[in-house]
Amino acid sequence: TLEEPPERVIFILATTEPHKIPITIHSRCQHLQFRNLTLDEIKNQLKNISSKEGLTIDDKALTLLSRNAQGCMRDGVSLLDQAFSFRGTKISYEDVLYILGATEESQVVSLINEIVKQESQAILKQLQTFFDAGTNPTQLITDLIEITKTLLYVKLGCEEILNAPPSTELRALSNSVDQSFLERCLDTLAKTEMELRWFSKPQLLLQLRLIALSSNPAENTVATPIAPTNTTNVVRPAVQKAPVQRAPAPTPVQRAPAPTPVQRAPAPTAQAPAPAAKQDAPRPVDSTNAQARWNDTVQTIQRTHHALYAILKESRVELNANKLTIKLKQAFKFFIEKLKEEKTHSLVNEAIKQNFGQSISFDIFDPSTSSHALASKPAVGQSTPQSVASTTSEAPPQQDQAPASNLEKSGENINSIVNLFEGSIV
């Protein structure tokens, strides 16, 4: 296996996506990073392949194929194979343009000129001409990025980095645009190239981005420097100062006589604070027919919350000292936790207030923590049987009423499984 290779065996893995290799294999490998091939290296290899295969191809076409390979020899050979499949042994520059969906460099430079001059109408017309000719929007973005990058390198004086010397047209354009515009243009084009993958109408997106790119005239062209002014020879006209009018002297103010001192009244004697009003004790709840009222409460919940109704269905209650204890038919732990949630608690409380006439605190009977068994007690409002023997002798138990001990046992089994795996039921 790759994790434990046999002796005298070496595995060589080549990939362009090393992040997809499992970490168990990645940690056992020696990593060798390969650089991208230069344009000349790819071009010479494609020329060598074309010569051996008997292909006649323009040098300009080979340059275009090599540039679109973007440093990958495999992609360059694949593009050459596509051109051979399309045109045979004689391949021209126009054939490669058609296969790639690319555009002439002069036309792309013309489009950038129109962006600099803010000619929105000309930009839209030029783009429509490209699209009608079969230009691929993604390839057009690639060409725009490549030419804009060349303009920026020329602007910064880094022409030696370029694979080929720039044309006279590119030099003239580079001198007429500002560096900040070229940087903003590259940033916008890079983001647009990424957005094209997810946009359903790439042509429309490209039109919108290029129009927005030409919307700020202050950053597109190079500002013309202003000649310095010779301040020594400038004759400024004398400024006549208006006479300052002084305000009249203020009229002396007559002071009012001093007020007669006022005798303060003696401070009031501090009185003891009034006793706080006693709060009325909560009104006792009538325990008569508590089970019937609870059944109405469950029916009220059913109208709006079917899931909560399924939990409270056929539950029983016991009302003692203004506190309602709810006994679920299926006392599963996740049912009890659901009823203790704040949202569920408020819904049940609102339904109780509607049917009992006032708010009543309630609690959920949990057989796993409680020692008493509510199942052995009759619900409030129901008559107490005289004896167990008389009850069992009159009629056999109903089949649909399972003994409380079996019900609690099944709930405890499920709860123990949930606790064992430290999980929750969803």
pLDDT at 277 over 80: no
pLDDT digits (tens, 9 = 90+) for 254-265: 555 555 554 555
Which residues are within 8 A (CB) of 346 and not within 5 positions of it... i.e. 6 or more apart?
none
Specify the amino acid at residue 67: R
| Among candidate residues 146, 140, 152, 62, the one with its CA nearest the CA of residue 103 | 140
pLDDT at 372 over 70: no
CB-CB neighbours of 187 under 10 Å = 11
Radius of gyration over alpha carbons of the chain, in Å? 45
What are the residue ranges spanned by the domains of the chain?
1-100, 101-219, 290-383+400-420
Percent of the chain with pLDDT over 70: 69
pLDDT at 228 over 50: no
Chain mean pLDDT for the chain? 74
CATH number for the region 290-383+400-420 comes to: 3.30.300.180
Coil/strand/helix, residue 184: helix
**341's tokens:** 């949630």
pLDDT at 63 over 50: yes
Cα(141)–Cα(209) distance, integer angstroms = 11
Binning pLDDT at 50, 70 and 90, where does residue 44 land? Answer: very high
Quick one: pLDDT at residue 45? 92
Which residues are within 8 A (CB) of 166 and not within 5 positions of it... i.e. 6 or more apart?
150, 154, 159, 174
Domain at 101-219, CATH class: mainly alpha
Percent of the chain with pLDDT over 90: 4
* Region label for 265, one of left (φ > 0), alpha (ψ between -120 and 50) or beta (otherwise): beta
Number of H helices, E strands in the chain: 17, 5
Binning pLDDT at 50, 70 and 90, where does residue 359 land? Answer: confident
Here the contacts of 129-135 (C-beta below 8 Å, separation 24 or greater) are 130/103, 131/203, 133/103, 134/98, 134/101, 135/101, 135/102, 135/103
Tell me the mean pLDDT in the region 184-188: 90
Question: Domain 1-100, CATH 1.10.8.60 — does that match?
Answer: yes
